[in-house]
Amino acid sequence: MKRIAGILTIVALTVLVAYTMFAPRSAPPSHMTELRARMKQKPPPTVDHALFPQLQGPFERPQDVAGTCISCHNHRHTEVMQSNHWNWEREEYIVGRGVVYIGKKNAMNNFCIGAMGNEQSCAKCHIGFGMDDEGFSYTDATNIDCLICHDQTDTYAKASEAGGAPEPSLDLGIIARSVGRPDRDNCGVCHFYGGGGNNVKHGDLDEAMFATTRDVDVHMGADGMDMTCIDCHVTENHNIAGKLYSLSSMNRNRATCEPCHTELPHEDEILNEHTLKVACQTCHIPVYAKVNATKTHWNWSTAGKLEDGQPYHVEDENGNHTYLSIKGSFTWGTNLEPEYQWFNGTASHYLLGDTVPAGSDLIVLNELHGSYADEDSKIIPVKVHRAVQPFDPGTRMLIMPRLYAEAVGDSAFWKDFDWVKAAEAGMGHAGLPFSGDYEFIKTEMNWPVNHMVATKENTVQCTECHTREDGRLAKLTDFYLPGRDYSPLVENGGVALLLLSFLGVLIHAGVRIGASRRRKNGGAR
């Protein structure tokens, strides 16, 4: 009886161990198959705008196009005018600060510093017309630039320093008759070029993604699902899901992976458990700036050097500027490993006019909140952009200089190369004091990395984090990470114990063998 029970147990255990170890674990989750099928369906347009008599043109002014759009879509403009694409501002609540309106008007960055006083040129990426230094009519619906988002000819382009107006040479009629659902080109013409050049700011939004492969971005690859931005940035009534934490602070309206992939997307339970504390992006975006370089450091303090009285520039072997008289020196990087931070969806911001406490020599312009102990936090990948930028030691404020003007003598740094004048003009324009003194201070900006998702073969592997030295999470030390952390006491004590046991055994065995030899040789006891 007992023997049978014993044998049965042996068999059961062996089968159990063998099954769990070698069972096939790789059948693709069925929801992925469903998702692929869903994403393959590209809805055909419901109307053909080319047939509408109203759109036959010709259109003199871009405002005439907008007016015509509104004549049929007679509620849509109210939606657009509530969007942050239009207002360049969001109402946000910041912990410890209260409700603030954050936008290009008052936020500072560590690239071209800010939009204040530079509106004419910045408006190239605003969805409106008629912006100038004096401001902008946020109530005139015909200033909405419908075409920048809805053009399907891929020819629509905004003119430089024209307050948001299109290139005058364009035939707006042709473009108006092409309109449809925004595709990657519509979003990319602005969002790939943030910071004044391709991929400068984000690092994970690159013009290479206009047409790309799964290796660069598993969602957008033409050899894959070929998804558009709004497949994920789901939009209803012109409210687009997703925003970037350079300018937002609240945990709302985020575009996340879960609506498609669910909260527990893996076959493997242990991987699923990771989702409690680790954002999808952390493992699934091992590197960013995969094709073209992104800026990682910007040093304004070297700006203003001239050659023969003229501004000049220096390029690296890939054609990226490493020095520009008007902007200073830069460092670029490709295939960068992100840095990692805890993030609970809320952030705080340095806003124009904020003063920095004495003694601090680093300003984080958008601090991401979170920690291990915070239940809502997850680890996310971040591109940290570091800079050295002008600072007023008298008022302890970051300086918003006037950068752009049409001509020399208008205090613009890009024409006159005089920090004091540029600071005076810029801060004056913002209604803020300037002590007359300037120096340079280190700043950091956090850019969460969300795009360029890798194929599953290329995800971050266990030991890139679960490793003793130099793991990806080496800087996040507020929790116990298996494989990385240990108690030095237990570790040293344990190793010592093992060594002593071993040594004890050796000595004991040695003496035993010696004694038995002596006995055999007839030696006395």
Partner 1 sequence: MITKTVYIYRAFERFWHWTQALLIMFLALTGFEIHGSIEFFGFEAAVTYHNVAAYALIILIVFAIFWHLTTGEWRQYIPSLTHVRTYMNYYVFGIFRDEPHPTRKSVLSKLNPLQKLTYFGLKVLIIPGMLISGLFYIFYRYPQKHGIEALNIESLEIIAIIHTAGAFLLLAFLIVHLYLMTTGETVFSNLRAMLTGYEQLHEEEEDQGINIQVISEADEEEKA
Q: Which residues bind partner 1 (CB under 8 A)?
A: 2-3, 5-6, 9-10, 13, 16-17, 20-21, 270, 273, 276-277, 373, 375, 461-463, 466-468, 479-480, 482-487, 490-491, 493-495, 497-498, 501-502, 504-505, 508-509, 511-512, 515-516, 519, 525
**Closer CB to partner 1, 394 or 504, in the complex:** 504
Nearer Cβ to partner 1, position 16 or 408? 16
CB of 1 to partner 1, least distance (A): 11
What are the beta bridge partners of residue 366? Answer: 349
Cβ-based nearer residue to partner 1, 72 or 499: 499
Question: Cβ 318 to partner 1, closest distance in Å?
Answer: 36
Interior CA angle at 239 toward 234 and 244, to 5°?
Answer: 75
Q: Provide the minimum distance between the beta carbon of 243 and partner 1 in the complex, in angstroms, as a whole number.
A: 25
**Residue 211's Cα: distance from chain center in Å?**
20
Reported in sequence order, the residue ranges of 276-365 that DSSP labels E, i.e. its strands, are 294-299, 313-315, 321-324, 328-333, 339-343, 347-349, 362-364
Residue number, 17 or 314, with CB nearest to partner 1: 17
Is residue 23 exposed (0-12), middle (13-18) or buried (19+ Cβ within 10 Å)? exposed
Contact indicator for 332, 385 with CB cutoff of 8 Å: no
Q: How far is the CB of 61 from partner 1 (least distance, A)?
A: 55
Residue nearer to partner 1 on the CB measure, 10 or 222: 10
CB of 373 to partner 1, least distance (A): 6
Smallest gap, in angstroms, from Cβ of residue 476 to partner 1? 14
Residue type, 464: E
Closer Cβ to partner 1, 17 or 408, answer by number: 17
- How many angstroms separate the CA atoms of 164 and 166, rounded? 7
Rounded to the nearest 5°, which phi and psi values hold at 22? Answer: -115, 0
**Measuring CA to CA, which residue among 445, 327, 301 is closest to residue 386?**
445
CB of 17 to partner 1, least distance (A): 5
Tokens of 486: 């240990």
Paired tokens of 513: 């063998």
Residue number with CB closer to partner 1 (101 or 486): 486
CA–CA dist 467, 220 (Å, integer):
32
Record the tokens describing residue 308, joined without a space: 């023969």
